[in-house]
Structure 1
Amino acid sequence: MLNFNWNTEMMSPNQHKIADYIQKNTQQVLLSTEQEISDAVKVSNASVSRFWRSVGYKNLKDFKREVGSELKVSPSGKMNNVMSKVDGQELQYHTLKNSVDHLYKTMEQFSHVSFQEAVDLFIHAQKIHIYSPGPSLGLAELLDYRISRYGMDVHLIDKVGSELFEDLMHFTKEDVVVIFGFIRLLPEANVILKHAEHVGYKTIIITDQLVSEFSTQADVVLFASRGELQEFHSMIAPTFIIENLIIAIGMRNKDKNLDKLDQLSQLRKRYSAELPR
């Protein structure tokens, strides 16, 4: 992974889009023209031209010269090169290729430090609140279902608009809020982040954006690739992150959590006649 360490706080919305695209598709950018980059990001060619100087390069040619020497072929690139040679496959093979690519991109950007920080926050939280709009609801329900078995107190935030305040008033500094922020943050998520500054609770964002205006607002940011804006957005990589969090959390207090699961098995056995599976 090549980390550019750009100052995202000084970027405009269009510059955030360009930077995010470059971070995700660095090798492709090294083979692209400014027009191809602007077409992919859906911004003007002039915006792309101005971008290079704002991040310390003279122009696209200067960027390619400096970055090209640092960048090695990634596992994702190698896998993509092999799979791209297979033509005429059915839909399932195309979907499989995309899924594998998302997983490789996620692992390329995976931060062991950030992941362990997220696990720490889960372990020490008094209560875990999860904000999961739209299609991310299934991810939140999976996380809730699994870690509730460990005895964790989990609350799914289902209120929108001003109704959100009914939940916010109960958040404490001992809590953790998990936010799914794919493509962009909704107004409710922005309010949750702002309110954390007043109350002191910790926040974790799971996102498909590598470079964004909210990347510095949360305590922990975990990346999961889902595809470009114009593509079908896969939940393979976000599910991968969630399942690894579930396992890592369980391993932190292994004996205690296994005991909880044993209690569940005993309950099932004791009342199997009344409540068969």
Structure 2
Amino acid sequence: MTDPALFRQQTAYTPAEQVIMDYIVTNPQEFLLLSIKEVARRLEVSEATISRFARHAGFDDFKALKNGVASQTLGPADKISASIDESGGDARAFMIQQRDYIETTLEGLDAAQFERAVGAVAGARRVYLHGKGAAGALAELLEFRLKRYGIAVERLASGGSELMEGLAYAGAGDAIVLFGFQRVPVEGQVLIDVGRRCGCTTVIFTDRMVQGGGQKADVILYTYRGEPRAYHSMTSAVALLDALVVAVGARLDGKALEGLDRIRDLKRAYAHLIPR
């Protein structure tokens, strides 16, 4: 993984340039093997855009950009072997690839941001959750886990005006957790804005190491899900979500355990009617 600090800071990068930067940050080993034409084709941008990005980022040209990336030490998780890429439906190879994704996510984990997320969720008056498409499954999983601790949770509608129904009473002391992979959906942008206006802490799970323009969530949790054009699994996102759940339980300590004990006791009391 390449450190985003390699690129010139305090620069207004265009959306296309942000895509290029994010690709280099998360796939440096692959980037170094490609020509400018191949990078342009893979990211669906022009060669001129890549050349402009190189200059905006502080390099003379594309070659100098490559040299800058090569000068950094790359972690082993970025070196996904060609044999795995060509494995097709091999389950073992796929699982090894997912392990690499988790290792890459671990490399990009910001401990301070993670601790902020733990504090926001554990101390929230209410936690609002939002996920669209496949990310909706993550929101549902987090809802299930947090409710077992006795945390007040509300899963918001994925889209449409119904989204506002659940937000009517959001306020200071609440947390909004959303999932924005590849791009933050318009609903996510609305939630971030609502959070800023009403004093909620916003937490986003994202696979974009470099964030685009516009308002950003208060807390950003990065997960690596594969190359930009590849199949994107949820393995690393689920692993990070479970890490958050466990850390919140540790922060709540006795309160979390009491809730889990009550659930266990209720299951035992009615096991003859509702078997597991």
TM > 0.5 fold call: yes
CA 1:219/1:85 → structure 2, altered by over 3 Å: closer, same or farther? closer
One-letter amino acid of the structure 1 residue matched with residue 21 of structure 2? A
**Cα displacement string for residues 89-123 of structure 1 (whole angstroms, at most 9, x for unaligned residues):** 85213322331221122112111111111101111
Identity of aligned residues (%): 31
Mapped contact 1:176–1:203 kept (Cα < 8 A): yes
Task: Tell me the SS of whatever aligns to 2:177.
Answer: strand
Mapped contact 1:8–1:212 kept (Cα < 8 A): no
Task: Tell me the SS of whatever aligns to 1:252.
Answer: helix
1-side partners of 2:262 and 2:228: how far apart? 45
Query: How many residues of Structure 1 are paired with residues of Structure 2 in the alignment?
Result: 274
| 2:64 is the alignment partner of 1:62 | yes
1-side partners of 2:52 and 2:233: how far apart? 32
Contiguous gaps of at least 5 residues in structure 1: none
- Aligned residue in 2 for 1:184: 183
Mapped contact 1:8–1:211 kept (Cα < 8 A): no
Structure 1 residue 168: Cα displacement = 2.4
2-side partners of 1:124 and 1:85: how far apart? 42
Mapped contact 1:149–1:261 kept (Cα < 8 A): yes
| 2:225 is the alignment partner of 1:223 | no
- Aligned residue in 1 for 2:150: 151
TM-score by length of 2: 0.91
Mapped contact 2:131–2:158 kept (Cα < 8 A): no
**RMSD, aligned CA:** 2.2
1-side partners of 2:169 and 2:272: how far apart? 40
The 10-residue stretch of structure 1 (238-247 or 192-201) with the greater mean CA deviation from structure 2: 192-201
The 10-residue stretch of structure 1 (101-110 or 159-168) with the greater mean CA deviation from structure 2: 159-168
One-letter amino acid of the structure 2 residue matched with residue 34 of structure 1? I
The 10-residue stretch of structure 1 (106-115 or 59-68) with the greater mean CA deviation from structure 2: 59-68
Task: Tell me the SS of whatever aligns to 2:161.
Answer: helix
Structure 1 residue 19: Cα displacement = 0.6
Task: Tell me the SS of whatever aligns to 1:258.
Answer: helix
- Aligned residue in 1 for 2:273: 274
2-side partners of 1:15 and 1:88: how far apart? 32
- Aligned residue in 2 for 1:236: 235
The 10-residue stretch of structure 1 (19-28 or 4-13) with the greater mean CA deviation from structure 2: 4-13
| 2:129 is the alignment partner of 1:127 | no
CA 1:267/1:8 → structure 2, altered by over 3 Å: closer, same or farther? farther
Task: Tell me the SS of whatever aligns to 1:244.
Answer: helix
